[in-house]
Amino acid sequence: MSNKLSSSVPTDREVVLGILNNSEEALNKLYTGYFPMVLQFILNNNGDEDDAKDVYQEGIIVLYNKIKSGNFELTSKLKTFIYSVCRRIWLKKLSQNSRKTKDVSDFDDIISVEVDLEEHEEKDQRFEKMQSALLNLGEPCKTIIQDFYINNLSMQDICEKFGYTNTDNAKTQKYKCLQRLKKLFFQH
């Protein structure tokens, strides 16, 4: 019953090297290459296209972090790894929604990915904490922090962007924002 996935898939080596070199093209190829596989799995196991997108992106993040962390070894095919990770994530979501998880229709081999997923869950929790902290931070703090830490703007740029009279004022403002953000982030 497994439909052959016809999309062109990059080799595993290409993907790993591409991600290590921050190649956008490699990520694109990876993403489009294996999405149909996960879509098929989710659609045939009580999910829809949006579920497939969420689960697949989470799976790719797991793979991405694993490759980036440097201790990635190709012990199985990337395909199998992605499938196993996405499968595990989806089954967990299903059981959380107390939907039935018996009789899973499988389309590929499965390997054990428990350790990877535990790591991922920790990271995911921090991600969500940061997300909600930033959300609760409010403007202009949120933008200042994002500009400085994420978009790597200099204090000078921020000073001009927000119309502060001098960089010291900007620094003080950033400091206050950061303290509040840290408080929000660590209190949970």
Partner 1 sequence: MRNEIELEGIIEDYLNGKLTEAEAQAFEQLRLTDPSVDHKVVAHKVFLESLNDYAAVLDLKHQMNQAHAQIDVEGLSKKLGPHPSFIVNLWRKNKAAIAVAASFILLTIVTIYSIQQTTQQTGTYEKLNKEMNSLRSSTNSLIRNVKSSHSVKPNVNPGKFGGTGFALSSNGYILTSHHVIEKSDSVYVQNSKGESYKVKMVYSDPVNDIAILKITDSEFSPLAPLPYSLKRTSSGMGEKVYTLGYPKDDVVFGEGYLSSRTGFNGDSLAYQVAITVNPGNSGGPLLDNRGNIIGIINAKESNSDGAAFAVKSKYIAEALNAIPQDSLVRRIASTKKNQLQGLKLTKQIEKVQDFVFLIKVYK
Task: Report the interface residues with partner 1, using CB under 8 A.
Answer: 1, 3, 24, 27-28, 31-32, 35-36, 39-40, 43-44, 49, 52-53, 57, 60-61, 64, 68, 103, 105, 123, 126-127, 129-131, 134, 145, 149-150, 171-172, 175, 178, 182, 185-186
**Closer by beta carbon to partner 1, 40 or else 84:** 40
Nearest to 11 by CA among 85, 111, 80, 78: 78
Task: Pick the closest to residue 186 from 132, 140, 121 (CA basis).
Answer: 132
**Shortest reach from residue 115's CB to partner 1, in Å:** 18
| Both structure tokens of 18 | 């591409």
36 in Cβ contact with 59 (< 8 Å): no
CB of 57 to partner 1, least distance (A): 5
Return the number of other C-beta atoms located less than 10 Å from residue 44's C-beta: 13
Closer residue to partner 1 (CB): 64 or 162: 64
CB of 171 to partner 1, least distance (A): 6
Decide whether 112 or 132 has the Cβ nearer to partner 1.
132
Given the complex with partner 1, which of 113 and 137 has the nearer CB atom? 137
Identify the three-state secondary structure at position 141: helix
Least distance from C-beta 60 to partner 1, angstroms? 6
Q: What kind and span of H or E run contains 159?
A: helix 155-162
Measure the CA angle with vertex 71, ends 69 and 75; round to 5°. Answer: 130
Q: Which is nearer to partner 1, 129 or 161 (CB)?
A: 129
Q: How far apart are the first and last CA of the chain?
A: 47
CB of 15 to partner 1, least distance (A): 13
